[in-house]
Amino acid sequence: GAGVSQTPSNKVTEKGKYVELRCDPISGHTALYWYRQSLGQGPEFLIYFQGTGAADDSGLPNDRFFAVRPEGSVSTLKIQRTERGDSAVYLCASSDRTGEASYNEQFFGPGTRLTVL
Amino acid sequence: RKEVEQDPGPFNVPEGATVAFNCTYSNSASQSFFWYRQDCRKEPKLLMSVYSSGNEDGRFTAQLNRASQYISLLIRDSKLSDSATYLCVVNSVSGGSNYKLTFGKGTLLTVNP
């Protein structure tokens, strides 16, 4: 079946601009995650959605970053007043509903490579 | 101290070699442990979970030592197709849910003909 998809695959923008990154999770997956991967680093957690609500946004670096998932499926990560330091690959992942006792595998999308000039 | 630390690498090995990756984690409350593989400019994919009893999947063997907070991955008879970055990943229970993945920086492996 179809995996996690992300659009655009590449985004080049200028410092100070606003960008939106889209994630389409695997159909039926209720949990959705955003991670950011800088060059030479592993992915870093940004935010986790269970259904429509952000259950944990503790990884968002500052208030320029915001994410929504209004209908519990597609999610959009929004970055205001972009800075050069925001340049990274933004990865989205989805999984079956997480539980207290078990871990459900997170399946990653191909990512959006954001470059802020 | 970083939550998950890995051998910095890179590793360059000939085909057929055995290669070992090491990883330590700092959060003793960590519950689940994994190795992910990431090909160049691709997304990370789960390679295998790691259990205290040790587990094997073909040429790949993973070990976990909870007392030492240490995780390892051994690849035997390495193939050209094993060339990738290997990410050590730890999952900690947070707010009653078992979802938050913490990744190491990754170790790049290149297998040469």
Digit-coded pLDDT (tens) for B18-44: 999 999 999 888 888 999 999 999 999
Q: Please report the number of interchain residue pairs, chain A to chain B, with beta-carbon separation below 8 angstroms.
A: 62
A9: left (phi over 0), alpha (psi -120 to 50) or beta: alpha
Position A100 scores a pLDDT of 52
CA B19 to CA B32: how far, in whole Å?
Answer: 23
Q: What are phi and psi of B80, to 5 degrees?
A: -55, -35
Residue A4, helix vs strand vs coil: coil
What distance in Å separates residue A18's CA from the closest CA in chain B? 24
The residues with which A46 forms a beta bridge, in sequence order, are none
Contact between chains at B105 and A41 (C-beta distance less than 8 A): yes
pLDDT of residue A101 exceeding 70:
no
Q: Where are the alpha helices (DSSP H) in chain A?
A: none
pLDDT tens readout for residues A16-69: 999 999 999 999 999 999 999 999 999 999 999 988 888 889 999 999 999 999
pLDDT of residue A113 exceeding 70:
yes
Using a CB-CB distance cutoff of 8 angstroms, which residues of chain B are in contact with residue A90?
none
Average pLDDT, chain A: 92
pLDDT tens readout for residues B40-89: 999 999 999 998 888 999 999 999 999 999 999 999 999 999 999 999 99
Interface of A with B in 50-109 (CB under 8 A): 50, 55-56, 91, 95, 98-106, 108-109
